[in-house]
Structure 1
């Protein structure tokens, strides 16, 4: 299965989940899956797949959303042309051209549904061009990049595509773990790389054996502090251990106390009076794979700082001291995903049974709140200390430079980034988003640790990697 196929399958899975949540009151999951499959079949054989999930979601939402009864003009469309007794409609079936769509308050023959499909496609094409049809045929710069998966929703947002198209850009992206981007992804076929931290960006710019030298520029487009996605029953249990505390309505996670309990081998059943999560699993924060993913590297930076008595790890002696303490926090998790999208999707869909605490970017939680994906009892905590992850674009050629400059300075694109949960240079943009959507976040993230230097963090990551073996 190719990377593009895997990406499309994951996108279809996610949009099906979103649609199931959105239409739970009026449609069964089976009906929604059928509608998604039918819409997707419209694109069988198409070689360009980038926009298929977006088109499928728009088509299905249009079909599933109840509408007023059709007027006489639509009724005339669906009647036979003859003024005599109407001919009987052929039986609906999978192979019938008159298969009916049982949505929107009216049963439409497949032919009319096809008209709606075409209309939807035309609409999206116009949106992609920012309303300028001529831009589809001239003056458009196609720019390709590889990005951290937590930014996928941003680049797939039709409004972002339209804002980019207004400036003559059609941006196509692949996703990978940020450390993979910096170490193993072939960057020669891309115009830009967009990992999730300055450390990963600096690694891209470092000379490396077997890789061409990158003479690009760095653009700190937006940022997001590291956070923990959890659930109210878990927060209540952690409060009893002293790990969690609430200040002005915001929950904080004491990393020192967490590391001490983890070192002592505590399990959830060790917490006195635990009747809400009596599971004989070790108390661990679920991370991604530190060998591939920036979010795990950021969590490693946090726990190594705490293990080094609230000092940034700097020397070989520091590394030797902290590695035995921090490596088990990753190795004892067992299998971990290669990028931050996976564990957060599990958090949203599977509940606290699988992963009661998940290391995430704050932006992921805010984005989910804006899209109404959060369920009752889902809680955001901030590690104390935490780390600000600066999502940094590295240009690989002139087109990448133009895009980096645009993303980091254009007001519309910065506002859209805030809508996806990222903190931008204009603090009011993020503040407006969280206020409008009532997301409890820290206004000012004060307790912030510094990351180790590029070389030190690499040695720490290598040390953790060896612990897996």
Structure 2
């Protein structure tokens, strides 16, 4: 079976986290046990007591193991009896559909755009050098992807940026820190985004497209050195005041801190003016899996809970906007109004080739 992004065998192992939802309906209520796989970034949501209680009211007792989205297709292929798989993006979901020989379209109950987090001083340096822009009315920051690609191609350094001399921590070549694209969804989506922008805002769909962008992808990846396998790690490093000044992250990571009234320090959220969305895509293998997908998308209580975890419910995106209105840092309530464009993701096969090019293995 074709491996997703060539991940080594150790990464295929499950995270070892299993849990069950508690049945609050009493002994007379018929409860369906739903077994599946989830991306590790959704573990906290499914472990939440209110989420458990609401799913139980719908007669669902869920048992799930968490694993990386890019290793999930391997696990789905060799694990019998699964009702669903729930990766963080559409590419692995399509591969799982192929493996399970499914024709129906999977549901996307919620999504989260990928953003860049930085400190205000860094954002201001970027703004002064036309790499970022602040909307004076909404307070929403955007990161200019075309200028960033040009900076990577030209080897632009922090020391050469106007105003950077006031911040001695800003040194070396300018780049964004990501996770390892061979094992992490956010790292792979960064390459997909970068390749789209570098390919004249067109999806890379063939070997010629891969060849056209391979140099900038290799530069962007090689500058990072050793990469983390989980998006939590560079995000935690940023919160601790260590690591690179620019971190690629899920919007939901920053939003969750704000919604839970946890310290966000002086974090600024910059939306790439062209970005990718983490479309949390539920592939239902059975009727029980389809019921779970349906309630996650259509149950009002669950949609509000999804928003409380910093996710944008597909059927009710305003739930996120309403919660974030008074929160800091500033979030974009409406991505279209903020003029944030969405890149088209390549096929899994081409994304594998882009990853190999970034890693210098092709």
TM-score for both structures, normalised by structure 2: 0.85
Larger RCO: 1 or 2 (CA < 8 Å, sep 6+): 2
Give distance in 2, aligned partners of 1:5 and 1:301.
25
The aligned residue for residue 3 of structure 2 is: none
Which of 57, 61, 65 matches 1:174? 65
Larger CA deviation: 296-305 vs 449-458: 449-458
Q: Does 1:453 align with 2:347?
A: yes
The aligned residue for residue 229 of structure 1 is: 117
- Native 8 Å contact 1:370 1:419 kept in 2: yes
Where in structure 2 are the equivalents of 1:351-362 lying within 5 Å? 351=241, 353-362=242-251
Post-superposition offset of 1:419: 1.1
Give distance in 1, aligned partners of 2:16 and 2:158.
35
Post-superposition offset of 1:50: 4.2
Give distance in 2, aligned partners of 1:443 and 1:317.
38
Post-superposition offset of 1:420: 0.9
Q: Does 1:427 align with 2:325?
A: no
SS in 2 for 1:179: coil
The aligned residue for residue 161 of structure 1 is: 52
Where in structure 2 are the equivalents of 1:1-400 lying within 5 Å? 50=19, 128-130=22-24, 132-134=25-27, 139-183=30-74, 186-188=78-80, 190-207=82-99, 213=101, 218-247=106-135, 248-273=138-163, 274-348=165-239, 350-351=240-241, 353-400=242-289
SS in 2 for 1:162: helix
Post-superposition offset of 1:398: 2.8
Q: Which has the larger radius of gyration?
A: 1
TM-score for both structures, normalised by structure 1: 0.66
- For the aligned residue pairs, the C-alpha RMSD in angstroms reads 2.9
Post-superposition offset of 1:341: 2.7
Give distance in 2, aligned partners of 1:347 and 1:140.
43
- Native 8 Å contact 2:284 2:290 kept in 1: yes
Give distance in 2, aligned partners of 1:205 and 1:259.
34
Give distance in 2, aligned partners of 1:375 and 1:385.
25
SS in 1 for 2:311: coil
Post-superposition offset of 1:278: 2.8
Q: Deviation per CA, 1:195-237, whole angstroms, max 9, x where unpaired?
A: 1112221111124xxxx65677611111111111221121122
How many residue pairs align between the two structures?
Answer: 344
SS in 2 for 1:188: coil
Give distance in 1, aligned partners of 2:215 and 2:228.
22
Give distance in 2, aligned partners of 1:369 and 1:4.
32
- Native 8 Å contact 2:276 2:344 kept in 1: yes
- Native 8 Å contact 2:93 2:281 kept in 1: yes
The structure where helix makes up a greater share of residues is 1
SS in 1 for 2:332: coil
For structure 1, the residue ranges without an aligned partner over 5 or more in a row are 9-48, 52-124
- Native 8 Å contact 1:215 1:396 kept in 2: no
| CA shift in 2, pair 1:3/1:277, >3 Å | farther
Give distance in 2, aligned partners of 1:3 and 1:316.
27
